[in-house]
Structure 1
Amino acid sequence: MIHIRRGAIAALLALTLPLPLASAGSASATDPDAASTPSRNTPARALSLSLPRPTGPYAIGRDRLPLVDRGRKDPWEPSAHGRELMVSLYYPARTGTGRPAPYMTEAEATTFLERQRQAGQLPPQAGRFPPEVLSSTRTHAHTGALPAAGRHPLVVLSPGFGLNRATLTVLAEELTSRGNVVALVDHAYEADAAFPGGRTLPCTACAKLDAMTSPDAGAAFMADVARNRAKDISFLLDRILPGHHHPAWKRSGLIDPKRVGMAGHSIGGAATATAMAGDTRIRAGANLDGTVAAPIPERGLNGRPFLLFGNQATGRPGTDETWDTTWSRLDGWKRWLTVTGATHLTFTDLPALAQQAGLPTPPGTVPGLRGSDLTRSYVGAFFDQQLRGTPQPLLNGPVPGNPEVTFQTP
């Protein structure tokens, strides 16, 4: 949970995109029973992946918004002209409008897979897996969709280090289907991600982290990542919240600026705590399995609610001192939940896609689709309660239907 180094990313993805993807048949991620046993005679191009269906009542629209903060230098790339962000903005939409939105670009998928091959973490047979299978994963969002009426809470999502924003699409779609606007952010040079002008910016920060010579240096570096992401989020809010003279997003009027939340995976979760410490516009936050690289102030977060949601191995009291410290300093509504059998990637799209592709679940590990359901349920309930004012009994304590989830009370 401390962070994912480049080599660790490759090793984990070798578990989610290996042999079965080179031979699996078609399956639907909306039905766990549809994850079929792959046939070795079926070509990779026959594989069709789709994200789990959102549970909320709203259809989903999606816009893309590039932003550049000209007032800041990029911390990882000196030649960059300002600090760039690439944002997918999801919004409640009218049913039956718009066109299907892609999962990620083929260039992103190509780079994503090629880097794993270069690291020597994918088996030779995986070379037959074409990037277009990943890039063409079916989503439930639509570009150009007409927005639903009303003003909605905003939830900002920040992905894990080295993982592009597409890896949190399932959560983004779920939160939007429940009636939120969602801003899903790529931070330049912190993953292989597509930016305007046909550019796929490399993960320059990953190489810098791998060059660190000591754990202390690596921890200090990740603290810098969290602080820079916090600045990114404040800049994003400056540009998209209504009230700005010239909002960067044409649909900014859909956002209720008094109901803003944030969540993130891994370093994105750490950045959530850091962003809340520096920006009081963020009213609620959730950390999905991320070591809190930059500690929150001793005084807490001014009573604002916070959710810690992690895996059992490193997300229990006494296993990550930054969570113990954070818990003691949180001064508002708080919950600390751990999921038995979860891995670091359980809280992303990748294990659900792997299960759909026919990859067996490792012993003792929560199946990918089940992990996705738990993440959507608890994070969705958190923001429903904290931003929409709807009480959620799911957050009050253990329930028989979710035996994997433990409420920690250190």
Structure 2
Amino acid sequence: MNFEYSERVTELLERLRAFMAEHVYPAEKTFHQQLQQDRWGEPPVLRELKAKARQAELWNLFMPDARFGAGLTNLEYAPLAEEMGRVLFAPEVFNCSAPDTGNMEVLAQYGSPEQQERWLQPLLKGEIRSAFAMTEPAVASSDATNIETSIVRDGEDYVINGHKFYISGVLNRRCKVLILMGKTDAENPDRYRQQSQILVPVDTPGVRIIRPMTVFGYDDAPEGHGEIIFDNVRVPAQNLILGEGRGFEIAQGRLGPGRIHHCMRLIGQAQRALEMMARRCEERIAFGRPLSKQGSVREDIAKSACEIEQARLLTLKAADQMDRHGNKAAKELIAMIKIVAPQMACNVIDRAIQIHGAAGLGQDFALAHQYAYARAIRLADGPDQVHMMQLGRNLAARYGAN
């Protein structure tokens, strides 16, 4: 594996860092102030930043298909995702925010020409937003075969009934479409052929958003996480993606890159937290000397730097293997980064909070919200335990057979 970034990636990274420094970091306070006026809209400062990012040609950097975006590999995009991850709302500035990224990749890879025209193109332009509806409150959704939402063919339509929650992005007024995962063939003996994915416009009759869900008390506006009832929701049959029974195939196609993106964004957050704790411990005086003179503080900084670098290198290796050999061949490394990176970010951000004292818990620093996000990612795209179970099973079978 070549650890040197290509000339193109180096140039993009320099431009991205300059844009963040000039436009994004100075806008953090304004962004949060404007959110207080309109929780589920688009803050004017975010709209302005997006226009500047598009003008600067820092747009759709995540998209591997050059027809629709930057055409970067997973390895090439990884450091860019890390840089954007340093500010929670920054990925949206560059039209690189989940769940839109995963939905755009699904539509680019699996969508029909009609689906791409109606939904992919507006998403690529940043005109609308989207959500992905899989998790359900009534079943353990870590085993996605448990999903109970039904998708039943009725003439030229499908009728959807079910209950979803923690559907990220759906509360934003610019969210116009969901990709929903449910069962079209609940009796199929192959549990992985029961599910399908279908496009559901948010304004379809029967789509009822019950309430916003919080994460450690944060509503994560302006995207939010909605609880939704689907009550006899009728959509055209052509909204089905790829075909009946292919929901898991689509899910596996989107989750590999999505996990890389999540992990690199978390590494960016952890790196920023490390830098914040280093500055804080030099500035704060306790018991007559800077905190940086305390051995335990130095140990926290050193451990954090080591853990960040380990996670970064592991994530880059996973991205490289995906590019060279495909998602399936890299599945063990993908599982490893999904286990390692969120826990690492939780640990590093927690240390930064401790060094900041009471201020680290409040709204004057981003650390508390970053911690809540990092902790949530230990559940998103598969809980830690699922990845450890599958990774441990595969390793035991391989080494136990020798």
Q: Based on CA coordinates, which of the two structures has the bigger radius of gyration?
A: 2
Q: Which has the higher helix share?
A: 2
Work out which structure has the larger RCO, using CA pairs closer than 8 Å and 6 or more positions apart in sequence: 1
Using the size of structure 1 for normalisation, the TM-score is 0.27
TM-score normalised to structure 2 length: 0.27
